[in-house]
């Protein structure tokens, strides 16, 4: 048995005046669809907006302002590199150059000569106690 494909409804309405929409004036303007475009989005089209475009009423919450991310390294990490002989030794001091900030976490057991962009205030004290020094990078 061969089935016939379903034909379009418009073919059925050829020759009729209103295509099954009742009065000729019905479905004429944008009033039949609740307004053009985003008209009525916060009234009768609100549920549609919530389902399809949740950010239409702006995202909720707070966004932190962008901060500059500065590379940082702790003193104990630099000290560890020196102990593992991963730093160049010049005289009796190990040389370390870093384009970022040196933080004072940890202890220093070997004399270090550090060149860095910036450092915290306790770094100088810890380096002097171990016989090291710190200076600005590029100076």
Q: Domain locations in the chain?
A: 72-136
Q: Report the C-alpha gap between 40 and 130 in whole angstroms.
A: 73
Burial-class residue 114 by CB neighbours within 10 Å (0-12, 13-18, 19+). Answer: buried
CA 56 to chain centre: 20
- % helix / strand / coil in the chain, to the nearest 5? 25, 20, 55
Q: Report the C-alpha gap between 19 and 29 in whole angstroms.
A: 16
Q: What is the fold, at CATH topology level, of the domain defined by 72-136?
A: Ribosomal Protein L15; Chain: K; domain 2 (3.100.10)
- Find the range with the poorest average confidence among 17-21, 79-83, 108-112, 115-119: 17-21
State pTM to two decimals. Answer: 0.53
- Find the range with the poorest average confidence among 66-70, 78-82, 86-90, 110-114: 66-70
């Amino acid at each position: 048995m061969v089935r016939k494909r379903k034909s379009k409804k418009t073919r059925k309405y050829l020759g009729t005046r209103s295509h099954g929409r009742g009065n000729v004036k019905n479905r004429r303007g944008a009033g039949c669809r609740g307004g053009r475009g985003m008209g009525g989005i916060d009234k009768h089209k609100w549920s549609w907006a919530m389902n399809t475009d949740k950010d239409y009423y702006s995202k909720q919450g707070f966004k932190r302002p962008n901060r500059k991310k500065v590379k940082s390294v702790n003193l104990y990490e630099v000290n560890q590199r020196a102990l593992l002989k991963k730093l160049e030794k010049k005289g009796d001091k190990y040389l370390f150059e870093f384009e970022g900030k040196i933080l004072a976490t940890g202890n220093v057991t070997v004399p270090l000569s550090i060149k860095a962009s910036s450092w915290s205030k306790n770094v100088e004290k810890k380096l002097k106690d171990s016989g090291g020094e710190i200076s600005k990078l590029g100076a």
